[in-house]
Amino acid sequence: MGKITGFMEVGRDLPHKRPILERINDWKEYNLPFPDAELQKQASRCMDCGIPFCHQGCPLGNIIPDWNDLVYKNRWKDALERLLLTNNFPEFTGRLCPAPCENACVLGMDIYNQPVTIKQIEVSIIDRAWQEGWIKPMPPKVLTGKKVAVIGSGPSGLACAQQLARVGHQVTVFERADRIGGLLRYGIPEFKLEKKHLDLRINQMEKEGVKFITNANVGYDVSIDDLKKTFDAIVLCGGSTQARNLNVPGRELKGVYLAMDFLVQANRVQQGDRVPNQISAEGKHVVILGGGDTGADCIGTAHRQKCKTVTSLELLPKPPEKRDANNPWPEWAKIIRTAPAHEEGGERIYSIGTKQFIGQDGILKKIKIVDLEWSFPVGGAPQMREVEGSEKELPADLVLLAMGFLGPEKNPLFEKLGIELDARSNVKSNSDRMTNVPGIFVAGDMTRGQSLIVWAIAEGRQAAYGVDKWLMGGTSLDPVLSEMA
């Protein structure tokens, strides 16, 4: 694969980012173009490693060494074909996925610590394909006469819908928001995913026969009984959108909000909407509770809204710079990660608990915090305790709760359909992603819990496989390797 000695001759390299003072003054994506010649050098680093662990690191089973080799040999169209065998939307994953494939790359072992730039090669292939006009609609040659409803238009719903439409089913996607895309549309900031990429795919899917219906909240203003009468199968792809709250004194103050409320409004403004009484970071001391991707998205958004300061508080200890002994390759490396938003400014503080939100006349002014001390007993759950005498207050005009999600939002359709949930309130399903109710399937975070975009797409494809097999008695789809997307 690639050049036999490439990994010894060429070091890992990534695109340069636009200067911070430039990019925080607009909402465009932060990476500068990466020249094809440099990308081919990076592709040449892919080793003939015998067992390509990168496959196993990727939930989609992407055939990574093949398209690395083809890019190195300047065979871009062939590389595109390999890439699209397993992934419907590489332009999304190539921008948003944290790249577990790179964690599993043999060159990512501690002795090398220079994994192949898989994610950048992936996004470069698909971006070139769109620019060259290689991506075309692929409508089915024959219709099956079967109708499928997909509820939710995030990555799992879109992947499921596209797979099913291409094998001839009539697919209708129901989305409760006013635009298609789910969290891709309203949860991910423009500087990470410009929505033109999403719009291109939606346009392609419409030409492939997928019907999209917005402002359709199934279980509320869309009757589940009507759907059962109209459709031969239903796929639930509503995501894990029940945000974790923090009930400490002062939670009711104006200025304390869930992170997704803040991000959705910011994204609506970028879509051209007018948002009355918008939650804005402009001129404010911003504190974000939670150090994950959602927290980083809030940091980048706060910078672009011209906040005064931004501080990220994390309950857990600071992760190590390198893998611990109990976190060996090729597992996902539990190390500290710095997003582009972190590079733009602000402070990150670890092992911090929140005691109180302090306000005046109903408006947030400060946050009271306390240092935490952690212990990790062998074979037991992590333990934390507050450090006596460590309480302090920080100025805070805006606090954003970015502490993860607890599962799907409660919806009357679960009870109406008689769907079983697991102990974490996720929808139970079998290996074909069918629930306990025949003909009702589920995919993505709604069944897995909050997870990566690659898992959402993989499960959407797997649900499509299960639906097609159930409707037709067999399927040409595969839960991992399917038709070219």
- In this predicted structure, the answer to whether residue 484 has a pLDDT above a threshold of 50 is no
Residue range 46-66: mean pLDDT, rounded: 89
* Cα separations in angstroms, 224 against 367, 427, 439, 463: 44, 17, 13, 19
Q: What average pLDDT does range 103-131 have in this prediction?
A: 93
Q: Would 169 be classed as within a structural domain?
A: yes
Confidence tier at 112 by pLDDT (50, 70, 90): confident
Q: CA–CA separation, 110 vs 443, rounded Å?
A: 35
Instruction: Answer yes or no: do 272 and 396 share one domain.
Output: yes
Same domain, 273 and 387: yes
**Three-class DSSP category at 237:** coil
Can you give the pLDDT at residue 380?
87
396 and 281 within one domain = yes
Residue 51 lies in a domain: yes
d(CA 144, CA 208): 14
Residues 154 and 126 in one domain: no
The residue segments making up the domain with residue 459 are: 147-241+406-472
Spatial neighbors of 466 by CB under 8 A, at least 6 apart, are 432, 433, 434, 441, 479
| Buried-state track 293-308, b at ≥16 Cβ within 10 A, e below 16 | bbbbbbbbbbbbbebe
Task: Give the count of alpha carbons within 13 A of 144, CB side only.
Answer: 22
Q: Which two tokens stand for residue 406?
A: 């607890």
CB atoms within 10 A of CB 27: 18
483 pLDDT band (50/70/90 cuts)? very low
Please give the share of the chain, as a percent, with pLDDT higher than 70. Answer: 98
Rounded CA-CA distance 361/270 in Å is: 32
pTM of the complete model: 0.95
Q: Other C-beta atoms within 10 Å of 75: how many? A: 14
- Same domain flag for 389 and 453: no
Q: Are residues 161 and 31 in the same domain?
A: no
- Residue 201 has a pLDDT of 98
Query: CB 439: neighbour CB atoms within 10 A?
Result: 17
Backbone angles phi, psi at 396, to 5 degrees: -155, 115
Report the residue count for the chain: 485
pLDDT over threshold 50, residue 410 = yes
Residues 176 and 154 in one domain: yes
Q: What is the CATH number of the domain that holds 288?
A: 3.50.50.60
The string of DSSP codes covering 153-216 is: -SHHHHHHHHHHHHTT-EEEEE-SSSSS-THHHHTS-TTTS-HHHHHHHHHHHHHTT-EEE-S-
Angle at 326 between CA 322 and CA 328, to 5 degrees: 65
Maximal C-alpha separation, the chain: 72
Read off the pLDDT of residues 369-400 as tens digits, 9 standing for 90 and up. 999 999 988 888 999 999 999 999 999 999 99
Calpha distance 399→363 (Å, rounded): 11
Q: Is the domain of 394 the same as that of 261?
A: yes
Q: How many domains does the chain have?
A: 3
CATH of the domain at 17: 1.10.1060.10
Torsion of CA 281, 319, 331, 238, to 10 degrees: -30
- Is residue 85 assigned to a domain? yes
Return the minimum-mean-pLDDT range out of 87-91, 176-180, 217-221, 367-371: 217-221
Distance CA 308, CA 124 (A): 36
Same structural domain for residues 119 and 156?
A: no
Q: Where are the beta strands (DSSP E) in 270-339?
A: 285-289, 309-313
Q: For residue 469, what are its two tokens?
A: 């097999």
Interval 224-248: pLDDT, tens: 999 999 999 999 999 998 999 999 9
Q: What angle do CA 182, 101, 378 make, to 5 degrees?
A: 95
Domain stops at, among 348, 368, 401? 401
Domain check: are 37 and 76 in the same one?
yes
The pLDDT of residue 482 is 35
pLDDT at 426 over 80: yes
**pLDDT confidence of residue 47:** 85
Give the residue-averaged pLDDT of 61-78.
95
Q: Do 123 and 11 share a domain, yes or no?
A: yes
What SS3 class is residue 383?
strand
Q: Which residues contact 289 (CB under 8 A, 6 or more apart)?
A: 246, 295, 313, 315, 354, 399, 400, 401, 402, 403
What is the strand order of the sheet 211-213 is part of? 211-213, 170-174, 147-151, 233-236, 440-442
> What is the residue-wise DSSP string for 406-450?
-SSPP-HHHHHHT--B-TTSPBP--TT-B-SSTTEEE-THHHH-S
- Residue 76 and residue 123 in contact, taking contact as beta carbons nearer than 8 Å: no
Is 360 exposed, middle or buried, given 0-12, 13-18 or 19+ CB atoms closer than 10 A? exposed
- CA angle centred on 307, ends 305 and 308, rounded to 5°: 160
Q: Which residues pair with 211 in a beta bridge?
A: 172
Same domain for 125 and 164?
no
